[in-house]
């Protein structure tokens, strides 16, 4: 055969063989094992290479498809496993440089002209070469080849950013960067590396990085680039640039260039001609032609900050700080804005400004974070070179204001942080362009502006130069300007910044600032106010500034120096006499009937200052007894008309009346401030009144009425406008919010003096302004903004709301009236008839409805002759004849919204009349006919009604309802209505909404009957009527001719019968002897028979194969339990011992047995539904207690166990959810079962824990065994069963250890097995404290703990595993101390795993949030607790205490912990240091490594200073 293929080499070189045949032969020769050629791989690769080289050198003509197939052939060889195996086995296959040059040439062509010919195949070949180290040598042996390749690849991407780039191209770039990085590190000639970088790679790398950073190719599409690959390429470009352009051996050249150190005697060596590296880099960076003009500026801007950061990373040391600065002006000069002259703002677009300013921000941030700028060093050593540069940048920024760009504010903020003197010469321009005259609307720009303003205030507060700052602020405010175009001076951001600043200042500086504003106001503004709108607006700005200063300054108190108090009093008097009163006089004197804008602003200023003065004066008077107010003392005797407080001292009532006339039409700041003045007057009156006189009370009523009446019309319509709570931003649109906020905030003061009509008005406004739905409620503007909805919602949820009974009652009446009006609007018959039968729907007046119900309740209470059935008969007759109130979908939605509001109120403490009224209103709503309503909406409505009825009946006056209507009548009304309504519901029997209605209904009915039993109100009568009613309904349900036979009706009846038996059964059982002559036991028997019949109806023939309904499952256990309780013998406590099988046969035995059989099959499926699963387990537990139900053919114990086993083996089972329900069943099983049956369970557990199960990957079987063991350990065991368990304990512990080991070896780690193993091990160790005798079996637990994986876990997983490990370790320490002493090294190693993991997780990370910190803190507390337990066993651990300290400090030196984590761990290690004697301390100081020794020194110092000193101090007072 070899002879057959020996001519392949000749045929490949033959000119007569067609190229098609040559390619087929070459392919066959490569893949065939029967073709023998000497050095076949090299021969075939050389043939393909020579052919391609000849073609591209134009020595050979080939068709395009042949060329492409040749490239594919080369690619197949390079990527073949065969070639990889040959190279791995040491065989040499050489690539020639000619092939690499051809690849580079083709990529160069692709990068220049975009030629797509064979590009994919060529890239694949290149990838094959670079990904194989033995082949990549061809590139790395000649650096110019890899440089050229990398350059061509980068340019290929950069010059066609809009083209579809394959991921393959980026992967090749990634590989090429990897190889070039290694080459850079090996290159000894820095000059050559620098030349390669700046000559060939700098420009394409910077452009590529810019495009990658902008996400050009990460959008969805054919050429989508993975985020990880993009990030890796950017990172490698950064590394290439740093190690190529900013090498450490180029430092001297940069110093030579940037510091201008020309020394003739310096030997430059190989760097003698590389004198200006920075100039070279900058020259290449700013060249105009290497990229499109629209990209050039942004590439330069982004590259400047990158290059400076890399420069700092390479060269920043303490001695190089000035060098690092010198690079900054050079790079800054590359930006366009550095060349702008004043007034050239239009030269750049907003987009250009954004890019350039972001670059400037990053440059300045680099300076700020690396501490390059030292003010003193710059002034002393460098003649303020840095300062002058930053001044130049500041001037540039301020002269070219760019308020729409957030970065502009951030740049100024950084400059202010560097040195306030940089911006101080232009402070007035800064305040003007960045605050007072700035037009900022975009959210991010506003935030940046707020941060800048806050920085300015904080800086000058620290310098104690706030008066100097305010001189500039006032100068800008008062300078000529178009005031109408200015934004409000103190919005929420600047206002909060000023507040924070004032809190840090001494009071004398605040008083100086206050006085300064007064001077400016008085000298520059007041003389020019008349008819000057601009001046009036300036007056308002100054007034808001004064308001902010005065309201937010620290208050005077008795500890203040007397001169400060006197100075404050003088300023207050001066302000009142020279500013406030003149403004009020000017307002009244110059007011005209048609008010102009300047007059409105003057009135705003005058009233704002009046209110501010009054509030501050009151505050000072309250807190400082040495402050003497012009308004007189707050405390005093009873007031008469002559001594009642005025709105403002020295301003007579007549003048205020004229002022009020002037602002009668105002709906903004003036009106708000007048309301505040009246509120202050109310507060002053209350504080000055010891015993309220008639005059004082009348004044209080008048003033509160004025506050309320001043703007009633503004709250007549809802508004969604938000207000930031600042007086300077108030206008007509935000005034309603401010007015409502003022009223609600002071309701506790106002409400006692409001008349009933006013209280009703407030309740109406509250109801109208509440959010209409959840979506509207979630539409929050965020702090500090408020709306009408947020204010009203806050009041509704306030704990103070129920404490204002008049408003609470009025609000309830409003809701009642609203609900009643909707119900009446749905009436479809004579309203007079409805009014006669349901009068509570038509009582609009508070007094009328209270009187109606109080009269009705009083009649029942006194005479006892009131026919309670009257209301019930009205309801029943209406329901049976078609309830006259019919609600459509829109009415239902409105009622649902109102019911949601009602659900937030406290209905458990209503007065009897209110309680009864609300009860019958809710019943009326629940029984109304629902027409043309969607089923989910109708069900939601009914659920809400009955849930509210249940909540109402939990109230303290719930019994008052039974004085008007019997429980049996309520029962009948509710059930009759629902039975009729349910026939219209098109729902499945397992529909969640329907099941929720059944659950809520059951709760309500059970509550009614339980209360009936509590009050013992005609028990036989009520239960007899209920039983009779249900009997009638049950007969109808079994009749096929009637509508009530629907499945929904049967389920409703089943719920009712279930709750009847649940309520009546225990009562009859407890009082069996007392009730022998009573009819109640007989009624219970009737109810049981009806319930059994109904269960048979629900379990109709043909339902086999279907799951049992949840309603059915809830009812069957009740029936069985009641049935069993009827056959109890006296003196025997347990049902299992009391069933008299000889005398009595349980009713419905066949039903119980059928349910039992079906439940055994369905139990695994039911585990997903908690309610059904719990009911099924309850039935099985009861079934186990009734031996007469058990079949003789099979063991009930075994059947139930196998069924539970299936549940625990099922996938996706949450043990935490189902185990609590299984505990009762297992406890009863173990009590009733024999020792042999218990042994079967133990054997099943051991089989499940057998290691072969893990090898079979049968994880569910293993988990089932662990869960069974956990359940078994939670059950009370004694006698032979307990003895059997502990005899098998060694096998169990060994099996757990082997399962744990297997789980730890899986990838990823099988936490689903590890966690339950740790849980059950901890319980086993605690329970076996006295019974596990062999120490070896306890020590096996250490083998488990030492292999638990705590690294690479998510936060919650880490916390869970950690706590379980801690529990096991703690169980050993507490319950098996003797074993712990013998294996103390294993104990400490296990504990150190916990300690080190907390240190690792609690370290301060470079990136990432602190969301996981609470989890780590919880684990750190457990470590501290374990330290404390160890410390209590001083005798056992004293010898090991220095080693524990050494372990701690050795690990602590490796990480920087969060302070909170560190504090907890230190508190623990301090307790171990208490065990160390002086010799141990000396040993640690001598033996620890230098780094750890420093940590120990600091730790011991803190221990002596904080812990030991405190401990010794406590000893001093210990008896």
3-state DSSP assignment of residue 723:
strand
Render pLDDT for 630-666 as a digit per residue (tens, 0 to 9).
877 766 544 444 456 677 887 777 788 888 888 877 7
Largest interatomic CA distance in the chain: 135
Locate 83 and state its tokens: 């070639």
Alpha helices in 1016-1101 (DSSP H): 1019-1038, 1047-1070, 1080-1098
What pLDDT is attached to residue 867? 54
3-state secondary structure of 1403: strand
Q: Evaluate if pTM is beyond 0.85.
A: no
Residues 6+ apart with CB under 8 A from 279: 257, 330
Concatenate the DSSP letters of all residues of 875-896 into one string: HHHHHHT--SBEE-HHHHHHHH
Integer Cα distance of 679 and 884 in angstroms: 50
Yes or no: say if 315 and 366 are a contact pair by the CB < 8 Å rule. no
Burial 894-920 (b: 16+ CB within 10 A, else e): ebebbbbbbeebebeebbbbbbbbbbb
Q: What is the DSSP string of 996-1031?
A: HHHHHHHHHHHHHHHHHHHHT-SHHHHHHHHHHHHH
Answer whether 370's CB lies under 8 Å from 316's CB. Answer: yes
Mean pLDDT by 10 residues, the chain (1519 residues): 56 78 82 76 84 85 84 87 82 84 86 77 89 87 89 84 69 91 86 89 91 70 64 90 90 87 42 70 89 87 93 87 92 90 70 93 92 90 92 93 94 94 94 92 92 94 93 91 82 91 91 94 88 88 94 91 93 92 85 78 91 93 89 59 67 80 80 91 81 80 88 79 89 91 94 92 92 56 79 92 90 89 81 74 61 59 51 83 86 91 84 85 89 88 93 87 87 91 82 91 93 86 91 78 68 92 87 67 89 81 62 90 71 40 62 88 84 89 86 83 86 72 86 86 89 78 89 86 87 89 81 89 89 82 87 87 93 86 87 92 71 88 92 83 91 86 92 90 87 86 80 50
* Distant-in-sequence, close-in-space partners of 148: CB < 8 Å, separation ≥ 6: 104, 108, 200
694 CB-near residues (< 8 Å, 6+ apart): none
pLDDT for 343? 57
3-state secondary structure 840-875: HHCCCCHHHHHHHHHHHHHHHHHCCCCCCHHHHHHH
Three-class DSSP labels, 423-451: HHHHHHHHHHHHHHCCCCCCHHHHHHHHH
The full length of the chain comes to 1519
The helix or strand, by DSSP H or E, that contains position 104, with its residue range, turns out to be helix 97-113
User: C-alpha angle 131/132/134, rounded to 5°?
Assistant: 150
Six token digits for residue 602:
């003057």
Instruction: Give the whole-angstrom CA distance, residue 819 versus residue 922.
Output: 9
Dihedral (CA of 254, 255, 259, 265) sign? negative
Whole-number pLDDT of residue 772? 73
Of 214, 227, 114, the closest CA to residue 170 belongs to 227
Shortest CA distance to 681 belongs to which of 645, 638, 641? 645
CA distance 896 to 890: 10
Residue 119: CA count within 13 A, CB half-sphere: 21
Alpha carbon distance 723, 736 (integer Å): 10
Name the residue among 1174, 1173, 1119 with its Cα closest to residue 1151.
1119
Tokens of 956: 């303290």
Instruction: Say what the alpha-carbon torsion angle 379, 381, 382, 386 is, to the nearest 10 degrees.
Output: -50
Task: Pull the structure tokens for residue 718.
Answer: 């809802």
State the residue for tokens 């010794």.
1512
For residue 1479, give Cα distances in angstroms to 1436, 1470, 1476. Answer: 18, 17, 8
C-alpha pair distances (Å), 1185 with each of 206, 1085, 1115, 1124, 1177: 81, 21, 18, 9, 13
Residue 1037: CB partners within 8 Å, gap ≥ 6? 1044, 1045, 1049, 1050, 1053, 1094, 1097
């Amino acid at each position: 055969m070899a002879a057959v293929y020996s001519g392949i080499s000749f045929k490949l070189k033959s000119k007569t063989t067609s190229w098609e045949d040559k390619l087929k032969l070459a392919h066959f020769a490569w893949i065939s094992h029967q073709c023998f050629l000497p050095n076949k791989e090299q021969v075939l690769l050389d043939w393909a290479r020579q052919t391609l080289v000849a073609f591209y050198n134009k020595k050979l003509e080939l068709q395009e498809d042949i060329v492409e197939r040749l490239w594919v052939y080369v690619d197949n060889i390079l990527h073949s496993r065969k070639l990889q195996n040959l190279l791995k086995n040491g065989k040499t296959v050489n690539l020639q440089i000619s092939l690499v040059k051809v690849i580079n040439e083709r990529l160069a062509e692709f990068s220049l002209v975009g030629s797509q010919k064979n590009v994919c195949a060529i890239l694949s070949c290149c990838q094959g070469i670079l990904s194989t180290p033995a082949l990549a040598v061809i590139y790395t042996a000649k650096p110019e080849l890899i440089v050229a390749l990398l350059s061509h690849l980068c340019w290929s991407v950069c010059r066609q950013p809009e083209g579809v780039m394959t991921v393959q191209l980026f992967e090749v770039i990634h590989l090429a960067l990897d190889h070039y990085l290694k080459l850079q590190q090996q290159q000894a000639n820095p000059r050559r590396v620098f030349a390669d970088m700046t000559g060939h790679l700098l420009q394409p790398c910077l452009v590529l990085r810019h495009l990658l950073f902008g996400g050009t190719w990460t959008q969805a599409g054919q050429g989508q680039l993975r985020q990880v690959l993009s990030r890796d390429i950017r990172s490698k470009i950064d590394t290439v640039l740093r190690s190529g352009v900013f090498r450490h051996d180029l430092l001297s050249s940069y110093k030579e260039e940037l510091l201008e150190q020309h020394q003739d005697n310096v030997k430059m060596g190989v760097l003698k001609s590389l004198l200006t590296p920075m100039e070279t880099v900058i020259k290449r960076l700013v060249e105009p032609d290497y990229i499109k003009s629209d990209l050039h500026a942004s590439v330069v801007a982004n590259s400047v900050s990158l290059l400076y950061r890399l420069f700092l990373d390479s060269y920043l040391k303490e001695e190089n700080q000035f060098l690092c600065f010198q690079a900054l002006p050079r790079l800054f000069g590359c930006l366009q804005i550095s060349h702008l002259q004043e007034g050239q703002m239009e030269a750049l677009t907003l987009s250009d400004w954004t890019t350039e300013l972001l670059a400037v921000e990053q440059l300045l941030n680099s300076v700020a974070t690396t501490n390059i700028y030292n003010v003193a060093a710059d002034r002393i050593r460098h003649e303020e070179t840095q300062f002058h540069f930053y001044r130049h940048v500041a001037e540039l920024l301020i002269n070219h204001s760019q308020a729409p760009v957030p970065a502009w504010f951030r740049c100024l903020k950084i400059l202010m942080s560097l040195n306030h003197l940089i911006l101080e010469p232009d402070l007035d321009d800064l305040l003007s362009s960045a605050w007072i005259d700035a037009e900022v609307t975009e959210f991010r720009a506003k935030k940046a502006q707020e941060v800048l303003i806050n920085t300015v205030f904080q800086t000058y507060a620290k310098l104690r130069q706030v008066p100097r700052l305010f001189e500039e602020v006032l100068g800008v405010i008062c300078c000529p300007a178009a005031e109408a175009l200015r934004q409000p001076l103190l919005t929420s951001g600047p206002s909060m910044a000023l507040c924070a600043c004032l809190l840090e200042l001494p009071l004398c500086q605040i008083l100086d600032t206050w006085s300064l504003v007064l001077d400016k106001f008085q000298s520059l503004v007041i003389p020019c106010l008349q008819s000057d709108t601009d001046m009036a607006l300036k007056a308002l700005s100054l007034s808001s500034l004064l308001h902010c200063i005065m309201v937010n300054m620290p208050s005077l108190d008795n500890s203040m120096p007397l001169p400060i108090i006197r100075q404050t009093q003088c300023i207050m008097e001066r302000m009142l006499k020279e500013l406030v009163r003149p403004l009020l006089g000017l307002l009244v004197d110059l007011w005209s009937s048609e008010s102009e804008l300047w007059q409105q602003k003057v009135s705003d200023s005058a009233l704002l200052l009046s209110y501010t003065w009054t509030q501050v004066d009151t505050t000072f008077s309250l807190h400082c007894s040495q402050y003497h107010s012009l308004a007189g003392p707050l405390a005093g005797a009873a007031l008469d008309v002559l001594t009642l407080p005025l709105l403002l001292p020295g301003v007579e009532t007549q003048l205020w009346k004229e002022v009020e006339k002037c602002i009668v039409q105002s709906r903004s700041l003036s009106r708000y401030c007048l309301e505040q003045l009246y509120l202050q007057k109310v507060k002053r009156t209350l504080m000055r009144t010891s015993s309220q006189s008639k005059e004082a009370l009348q004044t209080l009523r008048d003033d509160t009425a004025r506050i309320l009446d001043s703007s009633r019309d503004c709250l007549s319509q809802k508004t969604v406008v938000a207000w930031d709570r600042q007086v300077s931003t108030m206008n007509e649109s935000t005034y309603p919010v401010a007015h409502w906020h003022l009223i609600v905030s002071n309701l506790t003061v106002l409400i006692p003096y409001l008349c009933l009509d006013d209280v009703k008005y407030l309740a109406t406004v509250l109801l109208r302004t509440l959010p209409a739905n959840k979506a509207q409620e979630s539409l929050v503007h965020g702090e500090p903004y408020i709306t009408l909805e947020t204010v009203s919602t806050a009041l509704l949820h306030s704990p103070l709301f129920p404490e204002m009974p008049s408003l609470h009652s009025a609000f309830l009446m409003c809701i009642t009236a609203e609900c009643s009006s909707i119900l009446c609007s749905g009436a479809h018959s004579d309203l007079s008839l409805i009014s006669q039968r349901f009068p509570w729907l038509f009582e609009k007046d508070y007094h009328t409805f209270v009187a109606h119900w109080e009269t009705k309740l009083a009649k029942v209470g006194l005479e006892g002759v009131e026919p309670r059935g009257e209301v019930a008969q009205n309801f029943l007759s209406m329901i049976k004849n078609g309830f006259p109130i019919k609600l459509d979908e829109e009415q239902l939605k409105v009622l649902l919204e109102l019911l949601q509001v009602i659900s937030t109120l406290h209905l458990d403490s209503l007065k009897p009349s209110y309680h009864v009224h609300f009860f019958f209103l809710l019943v009326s709503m629940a029984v109304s006919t629902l027409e043309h309503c969607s089923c989910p909406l109708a069900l939601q409505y009914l659920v809400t009604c009955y849930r509210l009825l249940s909540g109402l009946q939990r109230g303290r006056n719930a019994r008052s309802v039974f004085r008007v209507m019997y429980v049996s009548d309520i029962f009948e009304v509710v059930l009759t209505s629902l039975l009729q309504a349910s026939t219209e519901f098109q729902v499945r029997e397992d529909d969640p909404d329907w099941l929720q209605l059944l659950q809520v209904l059951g709760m309500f009915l059970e509550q009614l009957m339980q209360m009936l039993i509590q009050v013992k109100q005609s028990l036989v009568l009520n239960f007899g009527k209920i039983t009779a009613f249900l009997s009638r309904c049950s007969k109808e349900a079994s009749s096929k001719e009637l509508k009530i036979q629907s499945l929904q009706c049967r389920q409703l009846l089943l719920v009712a019968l279930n709750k009847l038996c649940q309520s009546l059964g225990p009562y009859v059982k407890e009082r069996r002897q007392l009730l022998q002559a009573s009819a109640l036991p007989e009624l219970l028997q009737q109810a049981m028979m009806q319930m059994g019949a109904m269960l048979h109806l629900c379990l109709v023939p043909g339902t086999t194969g279907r799951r049992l309904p949840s309603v059915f499952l809830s009812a069957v256990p009740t029936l069985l339990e009641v049935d069993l309780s009827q056959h109890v013998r006296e003196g025997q406590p347990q049902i299992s011992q009391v069933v008299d099988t000889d005398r009595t046969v349980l009713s419905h035995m066949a039903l119980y047995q059928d349910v039992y059989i079906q439940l055994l099959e369905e139990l695994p499926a039911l585990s997903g539904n908690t309610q059904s699963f719990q009911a099924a387990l309850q039935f099985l537990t009861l079934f186990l207690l009734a031996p007469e139900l058990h079949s003789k053919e099979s063991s009930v114990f075994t059947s139930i166990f196998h069924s539970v086993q299936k549940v625990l083996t099922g996938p996706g089972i949450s043990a935490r959810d189902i185990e609590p329900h299984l505990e009762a069943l297992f406890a009863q099983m173990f009590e009733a079962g024999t020792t042999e049956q218990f042994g079967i369970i133990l054997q099943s557990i051991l089989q499940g824990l057998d290691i072969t199960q893990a090898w079979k990957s049968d994880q569910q079987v293993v988990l089932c065994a662990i869960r069974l063991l956990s359940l078994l350990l939670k059950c009370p065991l004694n006698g032979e069963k307990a003895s059997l368990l502990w005899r098998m304990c060694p096998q169990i512990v060994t099996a757990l250890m082997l399962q744990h080991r297997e789980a730890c070896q899986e990838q990823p780690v099988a936490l689903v097995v590890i966690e339950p193993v740790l849980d059950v091990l901890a319980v086993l160790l605690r329970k076996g404290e006295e019974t596990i005798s062999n120490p070896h079996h306890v020590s096996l637990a250490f083998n488990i703990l030492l292999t638990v994986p705590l690294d690479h876990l998510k936060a919650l997983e880490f916390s869970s595993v950690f706590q379980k490990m801690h529990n096991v370790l703690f169980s050993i320490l507490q319950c098996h101390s003797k074993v712990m002493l013998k294996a103390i090294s294993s104990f400490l190693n296990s504990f150190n795993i916990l300690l080190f993991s907390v240190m690792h997780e609690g370290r301060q990370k470079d990136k990432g949030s602190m969301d996981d910190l609470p989890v780590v803190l919880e684990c750190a507390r457990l470590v501290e607790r374990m330290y404390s337990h160890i410390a209590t066993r001083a005798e056992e651990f004293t010898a090991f205490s220095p080693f524990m300290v050494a372990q701690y400090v050795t690990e602590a030196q490796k990480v920087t912990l969060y302070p909170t984590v560190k504090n907890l761990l230190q508190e623990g290690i301090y307790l171990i240091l208490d065990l160390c004697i002086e010799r141990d301390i000396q040993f640690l100081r001598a033996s620890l490594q230098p780094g750890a020794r420093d940590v120990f020194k600091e730790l011991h110092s803190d221990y002596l200073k904080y812990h030991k000193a405190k401990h010794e101090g406590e000893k001093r007072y210990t008896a």
